Amino acid sequence: MGVPFFYSLTAVVAGFLIVVSIFYIVNYSRERTSQHNRRVVSAYARLWSLAALRTAGAAEISIFFEEIIDKSDFPMILTSVEGQPMSWRNVGIARNDTTEEARERLRAEVAKMRQAQSPVPIYVGRTDRLLGYIYFGEPPFAKWFRVIPIGILTLVALLLVFSYLSYNRLKFYEEQNIWLGMARETAHQLGTPISSMMGWNELLKDEIKEAEIAGAFRHSNRSPQDIIDRISEDILILNKIVMRFGQIGSTPELEPTELPSLIHQSVAYLRQRMPRLRGRMEIVEQYYPVPPVMANQMLLSWAIENLIRNSMEAAPQDGAKIKVATRMDVDGEDVQIIVTDNGKGISARNYRKIFSPGYTTKKRGWGLGLSLAKRIVEEYHFGRLTLLESKPFEKTTFVITFPKSAKV
């Protein structure tokens, strides 16, 4: 378990405990407020009961109601035994408003209070003679007890979403920086030995011409010039690798590109570099007519080589076959490059992982080939690289698709 994961888990647990604590405090405060209001109303009811021993009239009780609880901060309504409002406080209706509309509103408020909690009855002294009821509700500030939990949940949800998006964005930038750093460092590290090899190669050419030592190689199958040519080819390849890495992270220049020609060059290069595979591996090229596309030839050939090399490494020991083709999609709009092999394939559970940086099934693999190919195709050429299908040792197909906007 990594340190960042531990801190993330700690933050989640702490946040959960804080939310639970706030909910508990809010509900506890709400219950205490409700209990306090009932105690106050019960005390008022007892006072009216004592007063009713002498007055016992509705008018006197109404006056007593207005004088004693004039400073109450929560809504109350005094009703008769039949439920008709007699006096009220803090319900948004003037105390002297006796219109029928006000009466209807009061009756509706009484019904609402009755649903929330039972009223407090008023008796005459300690007798069973009922004078009326006191209906009461929550003070205005208590309504916030219902709003606060919703607000907290909303805030926590927004924070979680924001944290998740921020984490993904930071992770994306971190991966981007890793790519850029690796590319630039590789280009920098390869630059020095390549320059040195180019110098030594030129010096070797001059020495051969001046000393005329070609005869010293008469027993060899290769002439000095052939060796020099091969060294020159490798230097050019190394230089191409440096230039490829150097373009990662920058905006590459796109130019009209004939895909069959570009793909054939990549296939020829891989055939030449892997002579040991010639006897047991067949690479078939099938190029249906497609229009040129706007591409950076250096980067796109790199992506194609990565796909073909991936197929070579997955190939069976005998009867290996790789097919590289170009075609238009079924709608005739998009240009496609198809790479198919009969290798070991990819399990369904790993479909989403194969393009992730670092994912590999090889013991010494870095897991960058497919990820780099996808980045080149999608970020620099605005296309798509997808795994179309995979059946172990039958058919595994990768497809590079260029949108119609990429056509020349």
- pLDDT of 70-121, one tens digit each? 556 678 888 888 888 887 877 888 877 878 888 888 888 888 888 877 787 8
- pLDDT of 261-308, one tens digit each? 999 999 998 887 665 554 578 899 999 999 999 999 999 999 999 899
What are the extents of the domains in the chain? 3-138, 146-247, 255-406
- What fold does the segment set 255-406 form as a domain? Heat Shock Protein 90 (3.30.565)
Among the residue ranges 33-47, 87-101, 115-129, 324-338, the one predicted with the least confidence is: 33-47
Domain 3-138, CATH 3.40.50 — does that match?
no
- pLDDT of 220-256, one tens digit each? 555 667 767 777 777 787 877 778 777 776 788 899 9
* Run of H or E residues at 176: helix 144-211
The whole-model pTM stands at 0.52
Full strand arrangement of the beta sheet holding 395-402:
281-287, 320-328, 335-341, 395-402, 384-391
What single DSSP character describes residue 295? E
Higher pLDDT, 26 or 358: 26
Higher pLDDT, 159 or 193: 159
Q: In the numeric block, which tokens belong to residue 84?
A: 């008709």
Higher pLDDT, 168 or 4: 168
Q: How confident is the model at residue 137 (pLDDT cuts 50, 70, 90)?
A: confident
Residue 374: Cβ within 10 Å count: 22
SS (H, E, C) 102-148: HHHHHHHHHHHHHHHCCCEEEECCCCCCEEEEEEECCCHHHHHHHHH
